[in-house]
Amino acid sequence: MNSSTSSVQNNISYVEGTECTIEHVNGTLQLFIIVLNTIHTFILKKLRKDNDSVHLHIVVIMSIHDISISSMTTLSSFCVYRWIERRQRCVYAFIESWWLITGLMRYTIVATASYDRYIAICKPFEYSANRLLANTTISLLTVYLTYLTVNAPFTALQVCGSFALKNPLVADRLRWGQLGIYSLLPSVSIPVIITTLCLVVRELRKMKRQRDAYGPIPDLLVIKTTRVVLVTVVVFICCLIPPICTEIYFSIPSDRPTTAIRESKLRLSMRMIFDSYAIINTFVFAIMHKPYQRVVIKLWKSCVCQKAMRKNLIRVEPLKAESASNQ
């Protein structure tokens, strides 16, 4: 009996140790995302001095969001949350729900970027008067805080105190209700993203036909910016499909042989694919946005000039000292 119990405990500790090792790799990826998006945000702030558009504002929000979610995922990857879970289960539950809702806000931000381009291309005369886009930060923050507030009672009743132990049936229904809350943002955002994507593509094709018939059209910058958003949205959907397929695969009951380690590895790999959107999105923006490239070149030249000036100062100072001693 004791040997079987010890073998089960050894298996559990082995699974947890393997999960931590796998998550350390993910932690390295998240650290790279933090560094890359910090540089990206700095360049965007420089770019916004010349062009403070709503589109750039949304890109800055997206970059800051990626830094936030990667910071939280890094703590998870290095098993900080696991340490909290063993000591304070209630605190861990709130941290986990906060982490999940913060991650789900990516859907809303991408949907907002798609909606911004839809109004700019399909309804340009309404663009400057659109209150939602004029107050993007307040709108997104309202959605975020509303979700946190609505989710808090579900988390508290399920995990904290003895309510869940005394009322298991109610706790199970609360769990399903919380899953409904988590799935609401993607289920609303994804149709908005796909619909606006199709409408914008249709309008761009119409503009192309007009350009071929009547010559160049105005607002070429708006069209170029829209193409950047379209590519980032397509990349987002491509990064989203593998994790969704994985979750569907594991949610369907079957007799397939699988282990906890294999399932954990596969799920984490799919999550890393989804998180890689934060890297691909940055490079897509840098490659397709010409003003961004000019800011990068300008910053690079200023860094090179500063290095050259420092080298010259290092060389000149000994010469000055030598000439002063000779005099």
Backbone angles phi, psi at 101, to 5 degrees: -65, -40
Q: pLDDT digits over 274-300, tens only?
A: 888 888 888 988 888 888 888 888 888
Task: Compute the half-sphere exposure of residue 286: CA atoms within 13 Å on the CB side of its CA.
Answer: 17
pLDDT category of residue 38 using cuts at 50, 70 and 90: very high
Domain ranges of the chain: 2-288, 293-327
Per-residue model confidence (pLDDT) at position 8: 43
Residue 21: which of 69, 70, 68, 82 has the closest Cα? 82
Q: pLDDT digits over 83-115, tens only?
A: 555 556 666 677 777 778 888 888 889 888 888
Q: What DSSP character marks residue 125?
A: G
Whether pLDDT at 317 is above 60: no
104 neighbors 68 (Cβ within 8 angstroms) = no
Query: CA–CA separation, 58 vs 56, rounded Å?
Result: 5
Residue whose structure tokens are 């993203």: 193
% the chain with pLDDT above 90: 3
Whether pLDDT at 155 is above 50: yes
Query: CA–CA separation, 197 vs 190, rounded Å?
Result: 10
Mean pLDDT of 173-178: 70
Q: Among 63-67, 197-201, 219-223, 256-260, whose mean pLDDT is lowest?
A: 256-260
Residue whose structure tokens are 């650290």: 31
**Start-to-end Cα distance in the chain:** 94
Residue 27: which of 87, 70, 58, 68 has the closest Cα? 70
Fold of the domain built from segment(s) 2-288:
Rhopdopsin 7-helix transmembrane proteins (1.20.1070)
Per-residue model confidence (pLDDT) at position 48: 81
Alpha carbon dihedral 264, 267, 271, 272, in 10-degree steps, equals 60
Per-residue model confidence (pLDDT) at position 35: 92
The per-residue DSSP string of 268-304 comes to HHHHHHHHTHHHHHHHHHHHH-HHHHHHHHHHHHHHH
% the chain with pLDDT above 70: 67
Q: In terms of pLDDT, which residue wins out, 183 or 327?
A: 183
Whether pLDDT at 70 is above 70: yes
Mean pLDDT of 18-38: 78
Whether pLDDT at 4 is above 60: no
Query: CA–CA separation, 225 vs 218, rounded Å?
Result: 14
Per-residue model confidence (pLDDT) at position 163: 53
Residue 60: which of 22, 122, 109 has the closest Cα? 109
Q: In terms of pLDDT, which residue wins out, 2 or 270?
A: 270
Q: Mutual orientation of helices 277-288 and 2-48 as an angle, nearest 10°? A: 20
Per-residue model confidence (pLDDT) at position 219: 57
Residue 96: which of 87, 109, 84, 78 has the closest Cα? 84
The model's pTM is 0.77
